């Protein structure tokens, strides 16, 4: 299993930050997922070996964190916040709009592998609600029209 | 990224460098950066703790525990390494302030961690940032690197004999990890399942060592307190509620945003003056005063001072500073439903009252709002919630129960209006949520 040079450099550096190897696990899983697209069996085995953990321990941790996934996702993961501050400002309609526009539902991926959709909990954008994240990018003060423009931009990227 | 706002009543302390490019270390230095930590290097640990106590600073994460006292709990004679852990897992619904501090003033957080370290004789600090805030992790990584390059971190900091290291750490999506013991578990590479207390982190924390855990805003306040004077900071607020804090206004207000206001500021003014009132000529129905876990207040309960004791007197909590304003077109049953959806999703399942309670409550509220409610459900919702209170390792169970109990008590009529298959009075065509097919993970 090969990760990028940037990943390896970060991994090596992070190991020096803690008195126990295991502490690098959560951020390492997320960075691995960013490279592979999801936490593949191969990636899990590799990380477990490096940190001298059982694969089961690693999977146990993966299942706890909502950002970590063992299933492939689209190139762009559209995450609509439907928590209270966003709901009060119309997030429910926006989430429905995205379902219609993309033709997919919660945790599904478009057939061309471009987009995934996810209903997520508070992303820390309450004062700029309604909001969403596409991968790690924040998009705030949304309207249906704004979402269309944003999704179009990703489509063409 | 996120837009900055401003209001004449603001007293900018923690936010004073926002929008001024202070993420750049040289800019930060030009704006009095790293002066406070150098001052702290010339002080004894007791003197630093004394200053923080004088300032009246109380934890900005939600619980409002006096910061100076927390620092004083770390045993002085412990032979173990000691740690500072900065909690940047901001995820309490309604709260979006730490994000601005980490984006606009990351060095103030590093400096705060260092000051806390000097106060308790620690040599390492960790800044935990939630996984969704990837861009802030990148900003923080650079800030830490720059601080090392200048000799502010590492061995012999600022030419002293002291050593201090600061490291960043990233999460991967979990509300519960914002709870201090779950945060430590997560940093140790495990599921964020809470630990039983006592022992408290100040005695047995990270890797079994004494650990101070503070919120981003709390630590970012420390340099200002040391540099500008503890008394000055205390005087901004009210007795026992020193200072200013970042309030995150959201929901049905005309000018939502993050505003730094003195503790004790009037909630009414916050909604109608700072927040510009309710949009569309609608009326106020309810307020969440301090993040989704705090009991809601009604429109008749807004003549209060927004400090820890003032909000407590009104039967709620100042919490994390997330003020969510709700107008009179909102269905409170639906609001309760969304709050419970969140806690059911975030419950780790470790403690049965929370795992089962949030799930039952979510199912009951879903059914109730969809028109399938019976009268008995109303009392049951309250009963189930009350039975979660104080019966879990971490406060997530309480966080789910408290707002729910308050909504049932204060808006019981709205529950009754949904009975006998009556459609939601606020959404007569049926809720958007129920129109959706049942979704599964």
For chain B, which domains are there?
Answer: 25-228 (3.40.50.11540), 244-327 (3.10.20.600), 332-426 (1.20.1440.230)
- Give residue B433's pLDDT: 45
Fold (topology level) of A76-156: Glutaredoxin (3.40.30)
Q: What's the predicted TM-score (pTM) here? A: 0.96
Fold (topology level) of A5-62: Arc Repressor Mutant, subunit A (1.10.10)
For chain A, which residues make up each domain, given as ranges?
Answer: 5-62, 76-156
User: Are the beta carbons of B252 and A67 separated by less than 8 Å?
Assistant: no
Best residue in A60, A85, A118 for a mutation probing chain B (most B CBs within 10 Å): A85
- Give residue B428's pLDDT: 60
- Give residue B372's pLDDT: 87
Dump the DSSP string for A83-136: SHHHHHTTHHHHHHHHHHHHT--TTEE-TTSSEEEEEE---S-GGG-S-EEETT
Q: Which of residues 64-123 of A touch B (CB under 8 A)?
A: 64-68, 82-85, 87-89, 92-93, 96, 99, 105-107, 119, 121-123
Residues 6+ apart with CB under 8 A from B369: B331, B333, B334, B337, B418, B424, B431, B433, B434
A15 in B contact zone (CB under 8 Å): no
Which residues of chain A have a CB within 8 Å of the CB of B276? none
**Best CA proximity match to A49, nearest among A25, A20, A13:** A25
pLDDT, chain A, mean: 97
Residue A79 confidence (pLDDT) above 90: yes
The alpha-carbon gap from A128 to the nearest alpha carbon of chain B, in Å, equals: 7
- Give residue B107's pLDDT: 98
**Best CA proximity match to A45, nearest among A54, A35, A36:** A54
- Give residue B431's pLDDT: 46
Q: Which residues in chain B come in under a pLDDT of 50?
A: 430-441
pLDDT digits (tens, 9 = 90+) for A132-154: 999 999 999 999 999 999 999 99
The alpha-carbon gap from B209 to the nearest alpha carbon of chain A, in Å, equals: 11
Angle between helices A25-36 and A5-15 (to 10 degrees): 180
Rounded average pLDDT over A91-114: 96
User: Are the beta carbons of B326 and A83 separated by less than 8 Å?
Assistant: no
Residue A92 confidence (pLDDT) above 60: yes
Please indicate whether residue B427 or residue A18 has the higher confidence score (pLDDT). Answer: A18
- Give residue B6's pLDDT: 95
Which residues of chain A have a CB within 8 Å of the CB of B90? 124
Q: Which of residues 353-412 of B touch A (CB under 8 A)?
A: none
- Give residue A91's pLDDT: 95
Which residues of chain B have a CB within 8 Å of the CB of A90? none
Question: What distance in Å separates the CA atoms of residue B30 and residue B254, rounded to the nearest whole number?
Answer: 36
- Give residue B436's pLDDT: 39
Contact A94, A151 (CB under 8 A): no
- How many residues would you count in chain B? 441
- Give residue B1's pLDDT: 61
A48 in B contact zone (CB under 8 Å): no
User: Are the beta carbons of B191 and A19 separated by less than 8 Å?
Assistant: no
B92 in A contact zone (CB under 8 Å): yes
**Best CA proximity match to B167, nearest among B105, B80, B109:** B109
**A83, A124, A136 ranked by CB distance to B134: nearest:** A136
Question: What distance in Å separates the CA atoms of residue A4 and residue A9, rounded to the nearest whole number?
Answer: 9
CB pairs under 8 A between A and B: 165
A125 in B contact zone (CB under 8 Å): yes
């Amino acid at each position: 299993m090969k990760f990028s040079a940037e990943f390896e450099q970060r991994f090596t550096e992070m190991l020096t930050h803690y008195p126990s190897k295991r502490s690098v696990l959560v951020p390492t899983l997320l960075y691995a997922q960013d490279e592979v697209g999801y936490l593949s069996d191969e990636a899990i085995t590799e990380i477990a070996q490096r940190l001298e953990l059982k694969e089961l321990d690693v999977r146990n941790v993966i299942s706890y964190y909502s950002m970590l996934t063992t299933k492939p996702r689209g190139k762009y993961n559209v995450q609509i916040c439907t928590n209270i501050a966003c709901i009060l400002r119309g997030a429910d309609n926006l989430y429905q709009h995205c379902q219609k526009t993309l033709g997919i539902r919660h945790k599904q991926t478009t057939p061309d592998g471009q987009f995934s959709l996810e209903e997520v909990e508070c992303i820390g954008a309450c004062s700029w609600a309604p909001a969403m994240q596409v991968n790690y990018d924040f998009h705030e003060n949304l309207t249906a029209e704004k979402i269309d423009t944003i999704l179009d931009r990703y489509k063409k990227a | 990224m996120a837009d900055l706002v401003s209001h004449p009543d603001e007293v900018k302390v923690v936010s004073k460098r926002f929008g001024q490019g202070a993420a750049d270390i040289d800019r930060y230095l030009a704006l009095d950066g790293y002066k406070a930590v150098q001052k702290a290097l010339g002080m004894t640990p007791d003197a630093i703790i004394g200053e923080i106590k004088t300032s009246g600073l109380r934890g900005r994460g939600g619980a409002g525990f006096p910061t100076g006292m927390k620092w004083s709990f770390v045993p002085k004679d412990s032979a173990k390494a000691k740690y500072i852990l900065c909690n940047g897992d901001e995820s309490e619904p309604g709260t979006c302030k730490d994000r601005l501090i980490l984006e606009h003033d990351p060095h103030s957080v590093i400096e705060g961690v260092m000051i806390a370290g000097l106060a308790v004789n620690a040599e390492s600090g960790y800044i935990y940032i939630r996984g969704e805030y990837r861009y802030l992790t990148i900003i923080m990584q650079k800030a830490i690197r720059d601080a090392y390059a200048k000799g502010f971190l590492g061995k012999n900091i600022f030419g002293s004999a002291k050593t201090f290291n600061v490291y960043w750490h990233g999460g991967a999506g979990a509300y519960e990890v914002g709870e201090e013991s779950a945060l430590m578990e997560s940093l140790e590479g495990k599921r964020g399942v809470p630990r039983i207390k006592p022992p408290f982190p100040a005695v047995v924390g990270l890797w079994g060592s004494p650990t101070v855990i503070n919120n981003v805003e709390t630590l970012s306040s420390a340099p200002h307190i040391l540099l500008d004077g503890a008394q000055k900071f205390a005087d901004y607020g009210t007795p026992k509620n020193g200072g200013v804090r970042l309030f995150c206004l959201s929901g049905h207000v005309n000018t939502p945003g993050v505003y730094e206001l003195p503790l004790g500021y009037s909630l009414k003014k916050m909604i109608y003056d700072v927040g510009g009132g309710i949009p569309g000529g609608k009326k106020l129905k309810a307020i969440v005063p301090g993040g989704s876990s705090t009991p809601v207040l009604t429109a008749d309960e807004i003549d209060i001072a927004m400090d820890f004791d003032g909000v407590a007197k009104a039967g709620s909590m100042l919490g994390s500073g997330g003020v969510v304003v709700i107008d009179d077109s909102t269905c409170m049953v639906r609001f309760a439903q969304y709050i419970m959806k969140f806690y059911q999703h975030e419950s780790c399942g470790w403690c049965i009252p929370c795992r089962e309670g949030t799930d039952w409550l979510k199912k009951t509220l879903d059914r109730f709002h969809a028109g399938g409610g019976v009268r008995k459900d109303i009392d049951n919702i309250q009963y189930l919630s009350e039975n979660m209170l104080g019966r879990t390792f971490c406060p997530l169970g309480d966080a789910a129960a408290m707002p729910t109990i308050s909504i049932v008590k204060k808006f019981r009529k709205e529950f009754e209006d949904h009975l006998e298959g009556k459609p939601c009075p606020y959404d007569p065509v049926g809720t958007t949520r129920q129109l959706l097919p049942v979704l599964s993970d």
